[in-house]
């Protein structure tokens, strides 16, 4: 896809630090982890998304002449460093969890192993992309869960700019939306586009009936009529029934999709009344779709009230993740390569125990119950650890260490979540198409126990540290405290 | 700026309705208004922003061969209509309120007068752009108000995608931020870029002192040191003072900016302690900047506690407008041109009195107190009305009509807010540069009474209807009710 160059989509401090490393002649290889600390919207999980755009960004990293010229104009950068930038390309390794995967707090969703100057430059854009798309995918999965399917993404006009509407639509479809109103997203990502018509269509004709007839004549095979412009039950629904009857009497083939859209009023009441009217007229398979400031909670409430809605157009609340509009992904230094090629683990301490980072070059193992296929827990481990699911395994909570889970050999399966994306600067991964990611994501969501998917008070999924990682972390913390005590 | 083509950045229904009008051979000229109903974040105003990007979008409206090919592939569109699209360009008029202007609910921020097919196509992108940038400009103005200045936009990594970070930075600077960390925004919009260094800079050196010394050596004229990596008061601030002392002793020229950045902990307590330590060492002009999940309420609270912070790095809460992440701008049909060239006003009724639209081809007059320059109220009027500020004027609340304001001739000034942007498809407007819009916006904010700027329970600004518009609206409502009664 053609796109303006995103190389300068970075915080200024990445560039000033890069220049610092350049001037100091220090460019050791380091490991940075992307992870987040809290699930959005009070849920028990998130959906990883955005990797394909990160790949695109890394592949196209290149300072154009006009970028160099701009940087020169700021007066902050030396010519020698600008010459370095003019030749810059990414030479490192990137590992990531594939898009559509269910993920949990503290797990490295993406890992950069690269000379520090390169690793630093890419921080901001990687976070921007992963934070946005994972946020919207997670929100969309909640809305789709509440609706039981049939959710259309309709939020472009309220999204935070063109990209938010377009990549947001992509993320929404990954997480299970059946389509989007955004035509550009449809073109760029080959995802289904959906829509009906607006109130202005009705208002531009002399009568509602004339507007409906015209729409039905033009779109006889996909005919959803918006019924709330004047009076839903007294005017909209009767006129829609009249038009469906006329189509039938004219001997037209049965439409693939036909029915009504409610966009205001008491959706529970109106949908039940409309259902009865449609059924009484013989249109038992007419769809009732609704749109009107919907979110997962309102949809859950409407369904529990017996609303007769099977198709949901969700806009603002989904495309902005309104109740939680930011995904708190961070990018933290985990290790620095020593002269002998070995990684020296690094830890960032904090007064807040939750903010102490996990040191070292790591990976993630996911453990499934063999019988049900559901997730038993995740194990953040050092990258060189291996596990054999025929062996018994005890995993334990990294803080409340007496909380243990015993996994009998043969009763579980295990898989590593991080896969290589770039090796030595070369992309070694091909993203699946969005609809294949959607299928994969559906399978991923099915690996969650129902108790972890529900909207209210979902059950936390265990994310433990492997014994070697836990020991390393404690040893580093001990060293820091001993050092402080000695001072 | 080079950008992917946004012509397909539209809801599918705009295109299906366009095809409907095309097939029906109906393409009357219509008037659509963009307006919003509620101020974001419980404030009393909003800041209009995004017009320059809308101009760019309209100028570049053009269906490329690959767009047509994509639309053909959906099976929804006829060849004759696709041929029409291939030749499409915008031929209408657009009026808008200039960027940086203070605006209020129900006022047309932008007005499209164009053949209905064209007016319909541009709805979604116009709303997307205006909704996003006005939202962020409004939020930023609140943060800047709370801080009393010195706010830097630092949110790129948490923004909802690349555009949200980049256009959001632009909107933030319009509303008074002194700069952004986003280098791409700096280049595209010629706005100041700002930044210091990250914790990873400190961690990549053996000691904090060594990291500070290196940074100071590289950036002696702009030297803000991040002091919270290990221990703010026991390690960070003393090391910073040591480095500033060394710089002074080495006879370096006094830096333009130097000081410390706090990024965690109790900012009120730490800033007061740090201020004392810096002052005691003779660095009374050292800046104390802070960043850590700030928003307008936290900043107001910190200042009321006497926090010694004069520079604020604000990220997530500003760039996503976290407490209110969507600006509810809508696009409503207001009039249709009749065969005689006159506009026939259109009204959209609703059970909800607030949702009844204002009919006709309209404009807005802003009335200022002549002595103070503060806003007395706005008057939404029909486009052909004129006012003479030497004449006395009575304005009245459109719902509670007994609420009247008498304006004596000569005691007020009046200006029209909507200005022509496109006439007959040609752009007739040149956007000021962003820093000039910032200056203008500052003047605009000063036209608000203090009571309307405060964060808690701000005073609503009057937006009234002119008498001719009010009479037209009531007449149309009467017609509808008479029609309903007769049925």
Of B136, B156, B351, the CB nearest to A128: B156
Name the residue in chain A with its Cα closest to that of B187. A70
Q: DSSP string spanning B406-470?
A: EE-TTSEEEEE--EEEEETTEE---PPPHHHHHHHHHHHHTTS-HHHHSSSSPPPPPEEE-HHHH
* CA nearest to A347, candidates A472, A466, A468, A467: A472
Pairing label, strands A46-47, A102-103: antiparallel
* CA nearest to B68, candidates B87, B49, B92, B96: B87
Name the residue in chain A with its Cα closest to that of B333. A200
**pLDDT band of B4, cuts 50, 70, 90:** low
Among A12, A26, A66, A327, which would you mutate to test the B interface (most chain B Cβ atoms within 10 Å of its Cβ)?
A12
Q: B160 and A162: CB-CB below 8 Å?
A: no
Q: How many Å lie between the alpha carbon of B365 and the closest alpha carbon of chain A?
A: 27
* CA nearest to A37, candidates A333, A323, A357, A464: A357
pLDDT in tens, B300-332: 999 999 999 999 999 999 999 999 999 999 999
Contact A343, A429 (CB under 8 A): no
Q: B9 and A159: CB-CB below 8 Å?
A: no
Q: How many Å lie between the alpha carbon of A275 and the closest alpha carbon of chain B?
A: 22
Q: A127 and B160: CB-CB below 8 Å?
A: no
Among A20, A67, A153, A160, which would you mutate to test the B interface (most chain B Cβ atoms within 10 Å of its Cβ)?
A160
Q: How many Å lie between the alpha carbon of A95 and the closest alpha carbon of chain B?
A: 20
Provide the H-helix boundaries in B261-338: 267-280, 296-304, 316-319
Contacts of B197 in chain A (CB under 8 A): 13, 16-17, 20
Give percent of chain B with pLDDT exceeding 90: 90
Reading phi first (left if > 0) and then psi (alpha if -120 to 50, else beta), residue B373 is in left
Tokens representing residue B6 in the block: 């946004």
Q: DSSP string spanning B83-140?
A: HHHHT----SEEEEPPTT-EE-TTS-SEEEEEEHHHHHHTHHHHHHHHHHHHHHHHHH
Name the residue in chain A with its Cα closest to that of B205. A26
Pairing label, strands B412-416, B362-369: antiparallel
Among B6, B13, B31, which would you mutate to test the A interface (most chain A Cβ atoms within 10 Å of its Cβ)?
B13
Q: B12 and A183: CB-CB below 8 Å?
A: yes
- Where do the domains of chain A lie, and which CATH numbers do they carry? 12-136+325-486 (3.20.140.10), 142-319 (3.20.20.70)
Run of H or E residues at A47: strand A46-47
Q: What is the mean pLDDT of residues B227-246?
A: 96
Q: A128 and B165: CB-CB below 8 Å?
A: yes
Tens digit of each residue's pLDDT, chain A (487 residues): 335 689 999 999 999 999 999 999 989 999 999 999 999 999 999 999 999 999 999 999 999 999 999 999 999 999 999 999 999 999 999 999 999 999 999 999 999 999 999 999 999 999 999 999 999 999 999 999 999 999 999 999 999 999 999 999 999 999 999 999 999 999 999 999 999 889 989 988 889 999 999 999 999 999 999 999 889 999 999 999 999 999 999 999 999 999 999 999 999 999 999 999 999 999 999 999 999 899 999 999 999 999 999 999 999 999 999 999 999 999 999 999 999 999 999 998 876 777 889 999 999 999 999 999 999 999 999 999 999 999 999 999 888 888 899 999 999 999 999 999 999 999 999 999 999 999 999 999 999 999 999 999 999 999 999 999 999 999 999 988 776 655 4
Helix (H, G, I), strand (E, B) or coil at A286: coil
Q: DSSP string spanning A141-198?
A: HHHHHHHTS-EEE--GGGSSSHHHHHHHHHHHHHTT-SEESBHHHHHHHT--B-----
Interface of A with B in 222-281 (CB under 8 A): 222, 229-230, 264-265
Task: Give the separation between CA B359 and CA B361, rounded to whole angstroms.
Answer: 7
Q: A349 and B158: CB-CB below 8 Å?
A: no
* CA nearest to B37, candidates B265, B348, B290, B302: B348
Contacts of A160 in chain B (CB under 8 A): 132, 135-136, 159-161, 163-164, 168, 320, 325
Give the contacts of B383 (CB within 8 A, at least 6 positions apart).
B360, B361, B362, B363
Q: Which residue has the higher pLDDT, B196 or B69?
A: B69
Gyration radius (Cα) of chain A, Å: 27
Contacts of B123 in chain A (CB under 8 A): 157
Name the residue in chain A with its Cα closest to that of B130. A161
Q: How many Å lie between the alpha carbon of B23 and the closest alpha carbon of chain A?
A: 8
Task: Give the separation between CA A86 and CA A73, rounded to whole angstroms.
Answer: 15
| Residue pairs between chains A and B whose CB atoms are closer than 8 Å | 286
Contacts of B322 in chain A (CB under 8 A): 325-326
Contacts of A76 in chain B (CB under 8 A): 219, 222
Contact A321, A164 (CB under 8 A): no
CB burial of residue A61 (10 Å; 0-12, 13-18, 19+): middle
pLDDT given at position B203:
87
The pLDDT mean for chain B works out to 95
CA distances from B52 to B114, B200, B296, B418, B479 (A): 19, 38, 27, 15, 40
Of A19, A120, A127, the CB nearest to B200: A120
Interface check A77 vs B, CB under 8 A: no
Q: How many Å lie between the alpha carbon of B9 and the closest alpha carbon of chain A?
A: 5
pLDDT given at position B401:
86
Q: B326 and A327: CB-CB below 8 Å?
A: no
Q: B12 and A194: CB-CB below 8 Å?
A: yes
Q: How many Å lie between the alpha carbon of A13 and the closest alpha carbon of chain B?
A: 5
Interface check A22 vs B, CB under 8 A: no
Helix (H, G, I), strand (E, B) or coil at A387: coil
Contact B345, B336 (CB under 8 A): no
Pairing label, strands A222-226, A257-262: parallel
ipTM: 0.96
Return the residue matching tokens 């198709």.
A311
Q: How many Å lie between the alpha carbon of A412 and the closest alpha carbon of chain B?
A: 37
Interface of B with A in 193-232 (CB under 8 A): 193-201, 203-204, 214-215, 218-219, 222, 229-230
Q: How many Å lie between the alpha carbon of B273 and the closest alpha carbon of chain A?
A: 18
Number of alpha carbons in the 13 Å side-chain half-sphere of residue B149: 2
Contact B20, A218 (CB under 8 A): yes
Interface check B12 vs A, CB under 8 A: yes
pLDDT given at position A352:
73
Pairing label, strands B257-262, B222-226: parallel
Interface of A with B in 116-175 (CB under 8 A): 116, 120, 123-125, 127-129, 131-133, 135-136, 154, 156-168
Q: B204 and A264: CB-CB below 8 Å?
A: no
Contacts of B348 in chain A (CB under 8 A): 199, 203, 229
Tokens representing residue A45 in the block: 């999980």
To 10 degrees, what angle do helices B208-218 and A12-24 make? 100
Tokens representing residue A284 in the block: 């038992």
Q: How many Å lie between the alpha carbon of B465 and the closest alpha carbon of chain A?
A: 23
**pLDDT band of B1, cuts 50, 70, 90:** very low
Contacts of A230 in chain B (CB under 8 A): 349
Instruction: Give buried/exposed letters for A175-190 (b at 16+ CB in 10 A, else e).
Output: bbbbbbbbbbbbbbbe
Task: Give the separation between CA B412 and CA B365, rounded to whole angstroms.
Answer: 12
Tokens representing residue B53 in the block: 């990007």
Q: Is the dihedral of CA A106, A112, A113, A116 positive or negative?
A: negative
Q: A336 and B165: CB-CB below 8 Å?
A: no
Q: A181 and B156: CB-CB below 8 Å?
A: no
Interface of A with B in 371-400 (CB under 8 A): none
Helix (H, G, I), strand (E, B) or coil at A463: strand
């Amino acid at each position: 896809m053609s796109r303006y160059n995103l190389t300068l989509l970075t915080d200024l401090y990445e560039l000033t630090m890069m220049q610092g490393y350049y001037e100091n002649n220090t460019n050791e290889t380091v490991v940075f982890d992307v992870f987040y600390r809290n699930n959005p919207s009070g849920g028990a999980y998130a959906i990883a998304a955005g990797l394909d755009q990160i790949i695109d960004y890394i592949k196209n990293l290149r300072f154009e002449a006009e970028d160099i010229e701009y940087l020169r104009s700021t007066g902050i950068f030396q010519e020698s460093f600008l010459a370095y930038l003019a030749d810059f390309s990414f030479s490192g390794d990137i590992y990531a969890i594939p898009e559509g995967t269910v993920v949990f707090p503290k797990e490295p969703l993406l890992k950069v192993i690269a000379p520090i100057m390169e690793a630093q430059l890419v921080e901001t854009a990687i976070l921007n992309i992963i934070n946005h798309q994972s946020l919207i995918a997670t929100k969309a999965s909640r809305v789709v869960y509440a609706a039981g399917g049939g959710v259309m993404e309709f939020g472009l006009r309220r999204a935070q700019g063109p990209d938010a509407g377009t990549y947001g639509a992509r993320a929404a479809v990954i997480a299970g939306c059946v389509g989007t109103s955004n035509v550009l997203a449809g073109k760029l990502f080959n995802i289904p586009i959906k829509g009906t018509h607006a109130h202005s269509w009705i208002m531009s004709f002399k009568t509602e009936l004339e507007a409906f007839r015209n729409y039905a004549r033009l779109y006889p095979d996909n005919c959803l009529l918006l019924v709330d412009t004047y009076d839903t039950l007294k005017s909209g629904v009767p006129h829609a029934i009249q038009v469906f009857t006329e189509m039938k009497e004219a001997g037209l083939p049965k439409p693939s999709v036909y029915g009504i859209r409610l966009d205001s009023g008491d959706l529970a009441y109106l949908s039940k009344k409309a259902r009865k009217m449609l059924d009484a007229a013989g249109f038992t398979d007419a769809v009732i779709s609704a749109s009107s400031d919907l979110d997962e909670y309102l949809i859950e409430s409407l369904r529990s009230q017996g609303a007769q809605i099977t198709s949901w157009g969700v806009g603002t609340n989904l495309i902005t993740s309104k109740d939680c509009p930011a995904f708190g992904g961070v990018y933290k230094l985990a290790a620095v390569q020593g002269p002998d090629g070995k990684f020296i683990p690094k830890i960032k301490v904090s007064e807040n125990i939750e903010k102490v980072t996990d040191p070292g070059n790591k990976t993630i193992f996911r453990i499934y119950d063999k019988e049900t296929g559901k997730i038993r827990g995740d194990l953040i481990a050092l990258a060189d650890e291996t596990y054999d699911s025929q062996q018994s395994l005890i995993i334990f909570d990294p803080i409340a260490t007496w909380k243990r889970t015993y996994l009998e050999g043969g009763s579980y399966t295990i898989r590593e979540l991080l896969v290589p994306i770039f090796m030595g600067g070369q992309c070694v991964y091909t993203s699946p198409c969005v609809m294949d990611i959607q299928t994969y994501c559906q399978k991923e969501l099915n690996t969650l126990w129902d108790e972890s998917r529900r909207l209210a008070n979902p059950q936390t999924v265990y994310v433990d540290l492997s014994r070697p990682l836990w020991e390393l972390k404690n040893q580093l913390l001990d060293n820091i405290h001993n050092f402080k005590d000695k001072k």
